[in-house]
Structure 1
Amino acid sequence: MFRRRPALPPFPPGGMLVGGAARDWLRGVEAKDFDWAVPDPAGAARALADASGGSVFPLDEERGYWRVHAPGGVQHDFVPLPPDVSADLTRRDFTVNALALTADRKVLDPTGGQADLKARRLRMVSEANLQGDPLRAWRAARFEVTLGLRMVPDTEAAVKRVAADLKAGVLPMPALERVRDELHALLAHPEAARGILRLEALRLLALSVPELREGLGLTQGGFHHLDVFHHGVEALHQLLSRVPDAPLPLRWAALLHDVGKPRTLARDPQTGRASFYGHDKVGAALTGQILSRLRLPGDDVQFAAALVGAHMIQLPATEREARRFAHRRRALLPELLSVMLADREAARGPSSSPATRHAYARAMNRVLEALEEQPAAEKPLLRGEEVMALLGLAPGPRVGEALRALAEAAALGEVADAEGARAFLKDWSIQ
């Protein structure tokens, strides 16, 4: 299971490497985050910052917690060395994290974490430890996916009990920023779709993104062979199979693209056929609410919501329509195409066929070709002041309409210079 063990940074005087970095060293995986237990955290942190050219600052000066951001995106945290390291390790979440490594590479393993790593087991140190910090329930799902482990039955049962106690209010919910960070660590993995399914199986999805669960059991028909929930999960999988380095807002958009369907469901009284008119707009609003609740940056929230709101746009049938599509949706491209393709490839219902998928791919290629021809917006042919003088307009919305119409005409190749722009606007103004 384990690869050759990577080199480690120099150990601080009297220090020990603890937790995930010790675990990753045993697995033969190079770490980026190092947790050190040292006699003098402030001194060790400053010494490392001086030696590496990194930056140092206190996380909690009263308790002696310090952090160093070193070059190359490497982070080092320093905490006071406890009197009994083994006893301190038994207060951790899982046995594979209850490990410490000395400078001479001696491993402290009071809970059997090395054996669990070799057997690919994820086992809690104790249920009390999980309940003491309920975020560890989400971490269990993440570790299964990112470390390739599998929860033993009693740990899985304990995680479900934590979820039940959180739902009942017996345990306090972790801060949503912490939940978001766990979700993002999971979503960033190539097998993020499997992670979403595990969150649902562990009853944690209802505490994270309950809106997604509204699609469980909601059949669609037509192009779709999965219910709304599993279709969204499969779209995430399809996205990552084609765009493995997709940024997080794009991953969220693929997962949430149909989140508005349950709230727009209508069934034909005669045939029982389902329709979801307006689900794209409702889904965009829900995406904004979900990601804002999880405290994502505003730009990421807006971008993901815009992708969801635009995923039902008709693809162009001609080259001219493709140029118009690229012009009007430039701010969302090419990510919008990735969401639309993931949506289509996640559907294998009776209406789906190789021919329909081929036609869809051809339409997408038209847009990509239009983007290649004009990768950036053209420089405006006329300024707003020139438009107002030409058409006798006062400042207001009509000026913006004229500029947008002119920009689209330029993108379509109908106007190439200032003289043509003036002629175009004169004709446009009398229509």
Structure 2
Amino acid sequence: MFRRRRPLPPFPSGGLLVGGAARDWLRGESPKDYDWAVPEPVGAARTMADALGGSAFPLDEERGYWRVHLPGEVHHDFVPLPADVNQDLLRRDFTVNALAITEDRQVLDPSNGRADVKARQLRMVSAANLRADPLRAWRAGRLEITLGFRLEPGTEGEVRAVAAELAGGTLKMPATERIRDEVHALLLHPNAAHGLKRLEDLGLLALTLPELREGIGLQQGGFHHLDVFEHGLEALHQLLARLPDAPLPLRWAALLHDVGKPRSHTVDPDTGLTHFYGHDKLGAALTTQMLGRLKLPGDDIRHAARLVEAHMVPLPAGEKEARRFVHRRRDLLPDLLWVMLADREAARGPSSSDASRHAYAVAMGRVLEALEDRPAQPRPLLTGADVMALLDIPPGPRVGEVMRALDEGVALGEVMDEAQARTFVRAWAEHNTDRR
């Protein structure tokens, strides 16, 4: 049964609501974005922008594609009305997207997509259409999760075939940025972990994040009850269960925090114990490589990689150590705690216990208290020029060492004012004379 349909905005003159927006309206959902096919895209876009207080701008002037941004991050796209609407719809990816709504609420449905919407089924319009744009294979996996639909068996078979043809080089890979956008749309969904596993089932993860797959079947023991691959997915799930609005770099860090384990895996020949020495640093390097390949913004890549590198840092055992923890990793907090918590909650192996979980929670509480006590970095008590004059040294790395030591002393509450700062600097320099 369809839910009661939501009201639609005023139709542009002679326009049709098409694609995903039509599908969502038929499902009883308010479309997040609206796609319109209209006789005059420029005029229609400007008219809507003026009427609703938005801004109109071209997406592709040569092809006549325009967009209107409205308050609340809703946007409306306008494309030229095709000469044959039904034929245009039949060139689309899935039947549930090959729909159009007229101003009088008539449904144009040349591929029986309305029945598939009702059945919550994702069915291709044709196998040729999937191959005409292989990105549609990734979209199939993403729409299964975001719509809660299920791939029809014949369509699933063709998606797997497209993945195999891409892997074999008989089909050309889509642009990296387009793949990234589909993966991000999946990652932003609450059930992202299941979606990534579905990409693996369909043969698409190997084309997207092959390094992540290296953990399939690699058992860890100890605190862990899942292999490395499943553990990463579970950590992402645990993060989103606790922080549904987690930003993308944090989601990536939770997913990839152990991506370095397969390549750092060793077994002690005497004890038979499994080790992953250095997997944090290797994982940070792999995260940088993987997210760089997907062309994420540089700041997002660096933040995710630093979280991966820091996720094994021991939590503090006391109040002073908690203040030091906050001082040294302030720019990673609270994200680092979220990654560490997701990692811990995803591990339920034989070494895990209520007592160890409680101890972990207490240590995290110490960090949060220290962060709340000092939410911002304390004001420096001395400048670099002050240090150079006080120690009679030239500019150079040693000035930076002194300033870092002083800043930590202030953060730990060991240095309270300028006079104490000067005493601290002299004592530090005397104690470290062998490093001059």
Q: When the two structures are superposed, what TM-score results if normalisation uses the length of structure 2? A: 0.97
Distance (Å, rounded) in 2 between the aligned partners of 1:36 and 1:152: 28
Distance (Å, rounded) in 1 between the aligned partners of 2:314 and 2:69: 47
- Partner deviation per Cα, 1:173-207 (whole Å, 9 max, x = no partner): 00010000000000000000000100000000000
Q: Does 1:157 align with 2:157?
A: yes
SS at match of 2:34: strand
Aligned residue in 2 for 1:428: 428
- Partner deviation per Cα, 1:374-398 (whole Å, 9 max, x = no partner): 0010010111111111111211111
Distance (Å, rounded) in 2 between the aligned partners of 1:3 and 1:271: 61
Q: Does 1:139 align with 2:139?
A: yes
State the Cα distance separating 1:52 from its structure 2 match.
Answer: 2.4
Superposition pairs of residues 262-277 of structure 1, within 5 angstroms? 262-277=262-277
CA RMSD of superposed structures (Å): 1.0
Query: For residue 317 of structure 2, what is the amino acid of its counterpart?
Result: A
Superposition pairs of residues 197-236 of structure 1, within 5 angstroms? 197-236=197-236
Superposition pairs of residues 6-405 of structure 1, within 5 angstroms? 6-405=6-405
Distance (Å, rounded) in 1 between the aligned partners of 2:422 and 2:64: 69
Distance (Å, rounded) in 1 between the aligned partners of 2:228 and 2:115: 41
State the Cα distance separating 1:68 from its structure 2 match.
Answer: 1.6
SS at match of 2:79: strand
State the Cα distance separating 1:50 from its structure 2 match.
Answer: 2.1
- Partner deviation per Cα, 1:43-94 (whole Å, 9 max, x = no partner): 1112122222322222222222112222221111111111221121111111
Distance (Å, rounded) in 2 between the aligned partners of 1:84 and 1:57: 26
Deviates more, 1:82-91 or 1:50-59: 50-59
Query: For residue 97 of structure 1, what is the amino acid of its counterpart?
Result: N
Distance 1:390-1:212 versus aligned 2 partners, 3 A rule: same
SS at match of 1:73: coil
Deviates more, 1:282-291 or 1:45-54: 45-54
Runs of at least 5 residues in structure 2 that lack an aligned partner in the other structure: 432-436
Count of matched residue pairs: 431
State the Cα distance separating 1:272 from its structure 2 match.
Answer: 2.5
Distance (Å, rounded) in 2 between the aligned partners of 1:92 and 1:17: 15
Distance (Å, rounded) in 2 between the aligned partners of 1:351 and 1:272: 17
Q: Which runs of 4+ in 1 moved over 3 A?
A: none
SS at match of 2:72: helix
State the Cα distance separating 1:96 from its structure 2 match.
Answer: 0.7
Deviates more, 1:75-84 or 1:319-328: 75-84
SS at match of 1:57: strand
Query: For residue 274 of structure 1, what is the amino acid of its counterpart?
Result: T
SS at match of 1:79: strand
State the Cα distance separating 1:305 from its structure 2 match.
Answer: 0.2
- Partner deviation per Cα, 1:112-154 (whole Å, 9 max, x = no partner): 1111111111111111110000000000011110000011111
Distance (Å, rounded) in 1 between the aligned partners of 2:114 and 2:378: 60
Distance (Å, rounded) in 2 between the aligned partners of 1:113 and 1:263: 46
SS at match of 1:71: coil
Deviates more, 1:58-67 or 1:120-129: 58-67
Query: For residue 363 of structure 1, what is the amino acid of its counterpart?
Result: A
Distance 1:370-1:2 versus aligned 2 partners, 3 A rule: farther
Distance (Å, rounded) in 2 between the aligned partners of 1:363 and 1:184: 33
Distance (Å, rounded) in 2 between the aligned partners of 1:103 and 1:325: 61
SS at match of 2:67: strand
- Partner deviation per Cα, 1:206-228 (whole Å, 9 max, x = no partner): 00110000001111111111111
Deviates more, 1:23-32 or 1:366-375: 23-32
SS at match of 2:62: coil
Deviates more, 1:31-40 or 1:179-188: 31-40
Query: For residue 151 of structure 1, what is the amino acid of its counterpart?
Result: L
Q: Percent identity?
A: 71
Distance (Å, rounded) in 2 between the aligned partners of 1:62 and 1:369: 57
Distance (Å, rounded) in 1 between the aligned partners of 2:264 and 2:34: 48
State the Cα distance separating 1:316 from its structure 2 match.
Answer: 0.3
State the Cα distance separating 1:32 from its structure 2 match.
Answer: 2.4
Distance (Å, rounded) in 2 between the aligned partners of 1:71 and 1:325: 41
Query: For residue 167 of structure 1, what is the amino acid of its counterpart?
Result: A
Query: For residue 420 of structure 1, what is the amino acid of its counterpart?
Result: Q
Query: For residue 223 of structure 2, what is the amino acid of its counterpart?
Result: F
Distance (Å, rounded) in 1 between the aligned partners of 2:51 and 2:350: 64
Query: For residue 251 of structure 1, what is the amino acid of its counterpart?
Result: R
SS at match of 2:48: helix
Query: For residue 356 of structure 2, what is the amino acid of its counterpart?
Result: T
Query: For residue 44 of structure 1, what is the amino acid of its counterpart?
Result: A
Distance (Å, rounded) in 2 between the aligned partners of 1:394 and 1:2: 76
State the Cα distance separating 1:28 from its structure 2 match.
Answer: 1.5
Query: For residue 324 of structure 1, what is the amino acid of its counterpart?
Result: R
Query: For residue 364 of structure 1, what is the amino acid of its counterpart?
Result: M
State the Cα distance separating 1:41 from its structure 2 match.
Answer: 1.1
Distance (Å, rounded) in 1 between the aligned partners of 2:88 and 2:154: 23
Deviates more, 1:49-58 or 1:165-174: 49-58
Distance (Å, rounded) in 1 between the aligned partners of 2:365 and 2:62: 59
Distance (Å, rounded) in 2 between the aligned partners of 1:63 and 1:248: 32
Query: For residue 72 of structure 1, what is the amino acid of its counterpart?
Result: G
Distance (Å, rounded) in 2 between the aligned partners of 1:183 and 1:355: 38
Query: For residue 21 of structure 2, what is the amino acid of its counterpart?
Result: A
Q: When the two structures are superposed, what TM-score results if normalisation uses the length of structure 1? A: 0.98
